[in-house]
Copies of this chain bind each other. A is one copy, B any other.
């Protein structure tokens, strides 16, 4: 966790980028340390030092490690899950013999984050390249997946960095190649953090609380007796039977037989994001069915006892893609492709404010200068998200300078 100050100093861009946010240990007990130790903001420097020891021959490559670790980046203003001074993340580090292989690993890590977000968390993402000013300190190129929350603001959901030989040179990561020469390795790193939990909450939640895809919901199914169930032991007998069947089948299921009212229970389990609610009362027992409601669907429906297993299996399979589709639709509705000048952007923001809509993601043309990025940020609070791999259209002029655009990129307000 503790990184000697001189490690940071070895990669000039790296130290410059992270210096203001690093907490320094300067004393132990009553004694002053000779060299301050920084709390890791990310581990390229220690991993670089270790790679220098561990990697000696082309036979050692490719080299790949991953760690889950707590890291520190000091924040003046914090926000639960999204912006905390200490956070937990996963960071992968790799070293390769060729530029091409390292670049491909950078991309495949990014693809994994895209899959994690979309297929697992039902959060649609924009995959693309960061502009130089938003690059990881010390990287040749940084790529990201960006997600749009319900308020139109962006969350950077994962990043993948191609380092070239920058860190290999700073930390002496060399190996003997097949031609018996000592050469530098090409490295990558990539990370995603617990801020994904924040993105998950803000992507799907509604007025009643959490909406979670079954892939990650702590409670996938909640069962509860309704009506005068205490006088009819058959209700709890049936619910017990359903409970054990579903548990046996491997689902995360809960049975709420507390004394709270049905209304209280509905609210509580909606708040907690239980995916499927199954109610059963004395009359349902007579009719041979239960009443079922999915968290993300307005209507209730009746499901016959003998069809519960199939229903639950189908519904839990369907829910994650359904949440993803719903989020995709929302995201599309908040994309703005036809804003071409700073004036139009300001008007767009003003209109959205008046109409109580989110200003969303705006696709702009960019001449490649930092001036344009700075001006947009100062005048509107929007920041560049990324240069998408697949833009819905190509923009022709820079939104600020009016000069020919070199890139088309997404801008948005961001967390």
Question: Which A residues fall within an 8 A CB radius of B?
Answer: 1-2, 19-30, 36-37, 39, 70, 72, 74, 86
Contact = CB atoms under 8 A, between A and B. Distances in A.
B2 A86 contact: yes
Give the most central of A28, A37, A72, A74: most B CB within 10 Å: A28
A25 B39 contact: yes
Given A2-B86, A86-B1, A86-B2, A25 B28 contact: no
A53 to B, nearest CB: 15
A298 B70 CA distance: 45
Contact of A24 (B27, B72, B74): B27
Contact of A37 (B22, B23, B36, B70): B23
21 contacts: A1-B72, A1-B86, A2-B23, A2-B86, A19-B29, A20-B29, A20-B30, A21-B28, A22-B28, A22-B29, A23-B25, A23-B27, A23-B28, A23-B37, A24-B26, A24-B27, A25-B26, A26-B26, A28-B74, A29-B74, A70-B70
A58 to B, nearest CB: 18
Q: Which 4 A-B pairs have the closest CB atoms?
A: A20-B29, A23-B25, A24-B27, A28-B74
Nearest to A24: B27
Contacts of A27: 23-24, 26, 36
Nearest to A20: B29
Nearest to A76: B28
Contacts of A30: 20
A86 B19 CA distance: 23
Contacts of A20: 29-30
Contacts of A2: 23, 86
Contacts of A21: 28-29
Contacts of A24: 25-28
A20 B2 CA distance: 18
Nearest to A21: B29
Contacts of A28: 21-24, 74
A29 B5 CA distance: 12
Contacts of A70: 1, 70
A166 to B, nearest CB: 23
Given A19-B29, A20-B29, 7 more contacts: A1-B72, A1-B86, A21-B28, A21-B29, A23-B25, A24-B28, A70-B70
